Structure 1
Amino acid sequence: MKPLKNDPYAGRRKQMVRTQIQARGVSDPKVLEAMDTVPRHLFVSEALHDQAYQDFPLPIGEGQTISQPYIVAEMTQALNLTKEDRVLEIGTGCGYQTAVLAQLAYKVYTIERIRSLFIGARRIFDELGFHNIVARCADGTLGWQDEAPFDAIIVTAGAPITPKALISQLAMGGRLIIPVGDQSVQSLKKIVRDENGIHESDLGACRFVKLVGEQGWRD
């Protein structure tokens, strides 16, 4: 990412990391650094810049939201990313979570089904100089078979069940983070694939917009 010049929100970003993220138990220094680096305010409308570093999600249009900073950090930490990892993100949205992942991984493949959001995210990736993000507009519940397998997969919308396509596209040792539940509240699941099979753990309750697609909710 290109370094920002004269960033008026740098102080607010540091405070966000300290009081909202680190104070709640996110301790991975690489995740904290990424959250302190990526300019969240640039991923929302100018009218919302002053709210960008507060402790809640914000609207980004088309009935979608940018997630609360803490949940972005928590999900990112749960992926245990390295600089060699290839990551698949389902639900690009405004691109903020994508940008955080791109600070930590070798390459991020991201899918957004809503074209206007896809176009907006692509524009800001280019403006900020992200060269390790590959984006497409498609049904994310089907994954990205041509680029599989992935070391990590993250889903940023709530699913009724974990899409089988995504599990099948995990590499050996791969990690999948996904909210699963009904359309009002979900459980954040971590799924790991190893030589003994598929293992699932519950990271706690969360709330996301619904995951729409062939292996998700119907629009």
Structure 2
Amino acid sequence: MRMPRFALFALLFSFVAAACGDATGDDDDPRGSLSFTYRGPINGSYSADGELTFLPGAFFAPEGAAGAFRQDSALVIAAARQGAAAGSLDVFTLALGDVERSGTYAFNPAACQEQRPATCRIGAFAPGLDLMELSGNPDLPTVAERAYILVLGSVRVTAISARRVRGEFSGSAVLASDPLHPISIDNGRFDVPIDDGLEAGGRFGPRGIRAGTPLSE
């Protein structure tokens, strides 16, 4: 199975400059958190907590950070943490399409394959990526081969505003090179700020923090 280009775009935007902090707080808190457990050919738990700042072209290996941004209308959640091996990074992303309200959304890889970002809903878990390779000019097909792609399951958005999104997720993910041996991703949770927009400089860009409506439950 080929990794859709939009999912690759989301994955690569996880390789960003990050400043790390503690657990998340209110709607204006710039820190985010994302966690889940996984079992199958590989087993373990994933947790990333801290502030993720989206600065294209900059790179720093975070101890752990999570955040979200909108590219046009499509919402992408990204998390990164230091991997188990020295000099490695574990990356997780969720592309949620043009979600604007709470509800349950099934993963929709067909829309991703058809290059429809507004309805593309998919996840990517890439453990153990090499920092030196990512700091240069990473080969997208090579990165894609190392990513487990969430193609079955769903995301439940429990609260969303212009500045923050919270929810839960679970499903099955496979390597493109080994679709017969999936991993099960369970107990997924996220509570992350939404960046104002990459084109305008983001949360700390010239527009500053954009006013938003209260979280819809």
TM-score, normalization: structure 2? 0.29
Greater RCO, 1 or 2 (C-alpha within 8 Å, sep 6+):
2
Q: Which has the higher helix share?
A: 1
TM-score, normalization: structure 1? 0.29
